[in-house]
Amino acid sequence: MPLIRGMALGQYIPADTPIHRLDPRSKLLITVLSMVLIFLTKSFPAMAMWAALIFIVAKVSKIPASSLLRSAGPILILIIFTSLLHVFFTGGETVIFSIGPLRASAEGTITAFRTGLRLFLLVLFTALLTFTTSPSELSDGLEAALGPLSRFGFPAHEVAMMMTIALRFIPTLFEETERIINAQVSRGADFESGGLLKRAKAYIPVLIPLFVLVFKRADTLASAMETRCYRGGKGRVRMYPLTWGSAENRAVLCFALFSAVVLLLNRLA
Amino acid sequence: MSLSVADLSYTYNMGLPTEAAALKNISFEAEKGEIFSIVGHTGSGKSTLAMHLNGLMVLQSGEVIVDGIRVGGNPSDLRRIRQAVGLVFQYPEQQIFAETVREEISFGPSNWGLSGDALEERVCAAMDLIGLDRSFAQANPFMLSGGEKRRVAIASVLASDPDYLVLDEPSAGLDYNGLCELTSLLRKMSEKGKCVIHITHDLELALEISDRIMIISDGAVAAIGSPSEISGILSDIDIKGLILPDILSLSYELKKRGRIDKITSDPSELAEEIRTASSCR
Amino acid sequence: MSSGTTLCLEGAEFQYPETGKKVLKGIDLEIRAGEWVALLGPNGSGKSTLLKLFNALLIPSQGRCFVDGMDTKDQANTEIIRSKVSMVFQNPEDQIVASVVEEDTAFGPENLGLSSEEIRTRVKEALMGTGLWEKRKHAVSSLSGGQKQRLALAGVLAIRPGALLLDEAMSMLDPASRRSFLDLVRKEHDSGRTVVQVTHRLDETVLSDRTVVVADGKIQWQGSTEGFLSLEESRLREMGFAKPPLAVLREELVKNGILPPSTKPDISEIRGKLCLSL
């Protein structure tokens, strides 16, 4: 249904930009590193640098600012909540105001602001990855990144395949769940009244058909994959093989230089 | 007493870039005792419309009135509407959850507060209506054949004894015998004074079984009338996504070329027309 | 021109190991390369099971099944059999693996271990052939039901199989999508592929060469599709089928000498011939 068409590819916004074209491994690497680095960032000038970087990457990859900001929406509450905790519980000399036993300190407020901002930057940066990388590129990248572990028996291909399939079926299952709920509501099912136990029980007529559907689907899907010559990861060649070329080297290098500057600014402050 | 829809519009994702109008100013009235078919291509808004008829969707604009009760009023009204309007979804066998056929069929009426003999009576009546032998009552519905499952699922809606029966694409995947059983059920229901609202993409089937047909295209009403009225006007209007039944489209074409006089969707009748035409020349 | 694949069953029986239910009770059937066979039967007759024998999804519990002379029982053949015989299932949702159109189309060729360049060539060919090339970068979930089923077909054509098995592949489609899907099947058949089509709608089979009716695990009737469609209406009803209106029309017009007996009950053929003769 059109209702969920928007979320069809997660947040991925297809476009042909240098950032989109980058090997997903380079983007994964940079994202993971940036997560660590953002957590280490304490000074405001360094945070401004991060904001600038996010702005530039978004600009180059043609991600509308509104979409980017909206991606932080769901965890805004978390950000506000942690910030508030910091305001009241960091403790410090200068008390700005107090509500009952709760005292807000100036130090606390600054820490709160810093933590909130850090979380916000972190979310935006990771969002850039999902905006510019399709789900299957992501799982390809993951498979390649985990590849070395498969020598120790880690099922890298299987994990990536599971991710691909899970992402593929999210919209479909969403639609089907909606339909089953609607069908049961039409037959008088009531999910809203009664205690917790009664409400939980009311979901049985939804869950059982859903499980039946999922098992049947898994069965046919397995046949369909076999039909299409699937034999596991061995011998599989990708249509767009991952290529680590000069663009990726340059991207990683740029990021390394940027990190150095950020760390320096952090030290200075 | 009827089910009436007035000026109903609905837009998904209103205000978002993915905004999509599903229904545009739909109005119609379906009476008890008739088979009213709503025909449209995939994505024409048929299913969205179906969900409006028993209050599953929150109204955006327009009205749906069932036996004088307005959808979107207070919650107790909604319960009455859901009891009055039974909705059979596409592939209804996918909603089966109970361990026995009896339990499955009694789910609706027991939710509406029936129990004991009254409930038992409803279950039996629904099974009789759909032609399920009473011996099935204790069977596990998941072990039944596809066709039997579909019948159990439809019976589970019939058991609420709705005055309005809305079926979304009920013929999907049925073989010829299944189709015959279905059409005879729909006829039986309308003869019992129920209003059958049959939603389908199959114009050929709709022409065969309906008292009245409404054609929707891209969320708007394109035509409404009796099967013969509909057959008469379809050649003049171009309806997106609608494929005319072979015989009908052939007879339009021959009529347009002045070869035959009468438009028909019956193959023997068309053969007769063609024979007369060719012997005249 | 691709070369079609021959499919052959010799006394094939099949019994589901879990339930012990015997679904196929001795089937002999040979399908020639490039032939289009309609496999009919009421729900539960065993026709889908039969179809699954041809690409080694199921192995006969008795008797044998050959694909281009290779026994499906021999596991060494499975890989090559799967690349020769491909199947489209009823519900497109059950067979699409990836979230993006071109990535799903590539799934089969990727499994074959072809070069990336060859994979791209085949994906392009399959998507062009099914009219989905413009949508190659689109999300699968943004496609309509008909488009999804065409994608399922594209995913199978990219393997370039010699035989195409259709397991009620059109039963969830609306008339417009069904027509365009059927056109695609006709094109594949014209290019030399073997087509085996399971259905219970006779109007989908008018273009096939031969009809095989399965009932209760056995072949109940077989012969030319033309012959099948001109059986008495009551005989067809007995077997659980309705004669398509076009077949009724064609028959009466042939009887009256208005149409030549070679006419197929196909809308474009009848329309063409009628406009000439009237």
> Between A78 and C32, where is the model more confident?
C32
Contact residues on chain C for A223, CB-CB shorter than 8 A: 52, 57, 87, 89
Pairwise CB contact (< 8 Å): C172 & B267: no
Minimal-distance CA residue of chain B relative to C167: B173
Summarize pLDDT for B114-152 with one digit per residue, the tens: 999 999 999 999 999 999 999 999 999 999 988 899 999
Residue B133: burial class (beta carbons within 10 Å; 0-12, 13-18, 19+) = exposed
ipTM, two decimals, is: 0.90
Mean pLDDT, residues A228-234 taken together: 89
Percent of chain B with pLDDT over 90: 68
pLDDT, position C94: 93
Cα distances (Å, whole numbers) of residue A100 to A83, A111, C200: 19, 21, 76
Domain ranges, ordered by start, for chain B = 1-93+164-177+189-241, 98-162, 245-281
Task: Please state, in angstroms and rounded to a whole number, the distance separating the CA atoms of residues C276 and A100.
Answer: 96
Q: Which amino acid is at B259?
A: R
Closest by CA position to C172, among listed C90, C80, C252: C90
Give me the pLDDT at residue C277, please.
67
Per-residue confidence (pLDDT) for residue B184, from 0 to 100: 95
B18, pLDDT greater than 80: no
The whole-angstrom separation of Cα B165 and Cα B160 is 10
pLDDT of residue B68: 92
Q: Would residue B54 be called left, alpha or beta, if left means φ above 0 and alpha means ψ between -120 and 50 degrees? A: alpha
Q: Looking at the complex, does the CB of residue A7 fall below 8 Å from at least one CB of chain B?
A: no
Share of chain C above pLDDT 70, in %: 99
Choosing among 3.40.50.300, 3.40.50.720, 3.30.300.30, 3.40.50.20, the CATH entry for C7-231 is: 3.40.50.300
CA A18, A23, A27, A29 dihedral sign is negative
Which residue from B minimizes the CA distance to A185? Answer: B56
Please list every residue in chain B whose beta carbon sits closer than 8 Å to the beta carbon of residue C23. none
Question: Strand, coil or helix: what is C67?
Answer: strand
The model's confidence at residue C1, banded by pLDDT at 50, 70 and 90, is very low
Q: Is the pLDDT reported for residue A5 higher than 60?
A: no
| Percent of residues, chain A, with pLDDT higher than 90 | 34
pLDDT tens-digit series, residues B221-276: 999 999 999 988 887 777 777 788 889 988 888 888 888 888 888 899 999 988 88
In this predicted structure, the answer to whether residue C241 has a pLDDT above a threshold of 50 is yes
Tell me, what's the pLDDT at A222?
Answer: 94
- What does A44-97 look like in DSSP terms, one character per residue? HHHHHHHHHHHHHHHHHTT--HHHHHHHTGGGHHHHHHHHHHHHHHS--S-EEE
Q: How far is C144 from chain A (nearest CA, A)?
A: 10
Distance CA B84, CA B58 (A): 18
Chain C hits for A229, CB-CB cut-off 8 Å, are 79, 82-83, 108, 111-112, 159
Return the half-sphere exposure (C-beta side, CA atoms, 13 A cut-off) of residue C42.
Answer: 17
- What pLDDT band is residue B13 in, cutting at 50, 70 and 90? confident
Residue whose token pair is 């100036």: A106
C181-199: per-residue pLDDT in tens?
A: 999 999 999 999 999 999 9
8 Å CB contact of C141 and A223: no
Over residues B178-205, mean pLDDT: 94
**Tokens standing for B9?**
């519009």
Question: Residues of A with CB below 8 A from B112's CB?
Answer: 188
Would you give the DSSP letter of residue B143?
G
Query: In this model, does residue C18 exceed pLDDT 90?
Result: no
Residues B201, C43: C-beta atoms closer than 8 Å:
no
The domain limits of chain C are: 7-231, 244-278
Work out the mean pLDDT of chain B and round it to a whole number: 91
Compare all CA atoms of chain A with the CA of C164 and give the residue at the minimum distance: A227
* Highest-scoring range by mean pLDDT, A231-240, B99-108, C242-251: B99-108
Give SS3 for B53. Answer: helix
Residues of C in contact with A221 (CB under 8 A): 94-95, 97
Instruction: Please determine, for residue C77, whether its predicted confidence score (pLDDT) is greater than 90.
Output: yes
pLDDT band at residue C157, thresholds of 50, 70 and 90?
Answer: very high
Task: Report which of C62, A127, A183 is spatially closest to residue B94, judged by C-alpha positions.
Answer: A183
> What are chain B's partners, defined as 3 or more CB pairs within 8 angstroms?
A, C
Confidence band of A130 (pLDDT split at 50, 70, 90): confident
Would you say B78 and B71 are in contact if contact means Cβ atoms under 8 Å apart? yes
Chains that touch A (3 or more CB pairs under 8 A): B, C
Query: How many Å apart are CA A105 and CA A157, to the nearest integer?
Result: 51
Cβ neighbours of residue A217 closer than 8 Å, sequence gap 6 or more? A169, C93, C94
User: Over 50: is that where the pLDDT of A8 sits?
Assistant: no
- pLDDT tens per residue across span A137-180: 888 898 888 888 888 888 888 888 988 888 888 888 988 999 99
CB B148 within 8 A of CB B127: no
Fold of B1-93+164-177+189-241: Rossmann fold (3.40.50)
Give the closest-approach CA distance of A53 to chain C in angstroms: 28
